[in-house]
Amino acid sequence: MSNELGTLSIVATPIGNLADMTFRAVEVLKNVDCILCEDTRTTGKLLAHYGIKNKTQSYHSHTKLAKLDLFITMIREGKNLALVSDAGTPCISDPGVMLVAKLREEFGNDFKVIAIPGASALVSALSISGLPAHEFTWKGFVPHKKGRETFFTDVSEIETTVIFYESVHRFLKTLESLAEKIPNRNICVARELTKMFEETVNGTTFEVLEYFQNNPDKVRGEFVIVVGSK
């Protein structure tokens, strides 16, 4: 058994376009002892694309404590692990943060977590929004049911730029809520970032709502919403 602790690399993966994988990320995924994946099938496609043959283990929000103990043991034995999500940077509104916290709690500052940066939908959307980016508030995902009204009230009261994700199923309702709460704020909706049908729509909340109401065929894919500062 090694006396030296293993490491955990937090590896960002593409949010759509597979060419957005970094050279460093590919090398790390090739050389770690095991890759922890949100969905092994999704990650398997990425690994196959880059010719990476390595062991994988599933890790997600429903992972049982016994498996966390396995990862702790692997780190204690000097094994180097990598954590990936299905897309983007792990631990951002993602259960990976629980794993990092658990390992830091177990090993303290003797344990090394390495950032392997890359794609992030929230940063990508902000960078092309044209909205103030010197200060912003990240709100994660809009609540499904309970807490939605409070969520939009909070957004209306925040003075900085606000960024959050929304699914296709509740997207129009979210735009309606924004138009009601902040009718004169400028927003940017970025959908299908880095993919074939990538699109950004800018305007006031009413203008953007009207655009998508008039173009229902555009209500597809994954959405990042950037609300400009007051």
- The CA angle 70-75-77, to the nearest 5 degrees, is 95
Cα 156–132–226 angle (5° rounding)? Answer: 50
φ, ψ of residue 165 in degrees (nearest 5): -105, 150
Give the pairing type, strands 81-84 and 56-58: unpaired
Kindly state whether residues 24 and 66 are assigned to the same domain: yes
Concatenate the DSSP letters of all residues of 154-196 into one string.
HHHH--SEEEEEE-GGGHHHHHHHHHHH-TT-EEEEEESTTST
Question: Which residues span the domain enclosing 183?
Answer: 121-227
Domain shared by 25 and 103, yes or no: yes
> Could you tell me if 39 and 138 lie in one domain?
no
Q: Are residues 109 and 22 in the same domain?
A: yes
- Looking at 116, 138, 169, which one is the last position of a domain? 116
> How does pLDDT run along the chain (230 residues), one tens digit per residue?
457 999 999 999 999 999 999 999 999 999 999 999 999 999 999 999 999 999 999 998 888 878 899 999 999 999 999 999 999 999 998 889 999 999 999 999 989 999 999 999 999 999 999 999 999 999 999 998 889 999 999 999 999 999 999 999 999 999 999 999 999 899 999 999 999 999 999 999 999 999 999 999 999 999 999 999 98
| Spatial separation of the C-alpha atoms in residues 20 and 198, rounded to whole Å | 15
What pTM, to 2 d.p., does this model score?
0.92
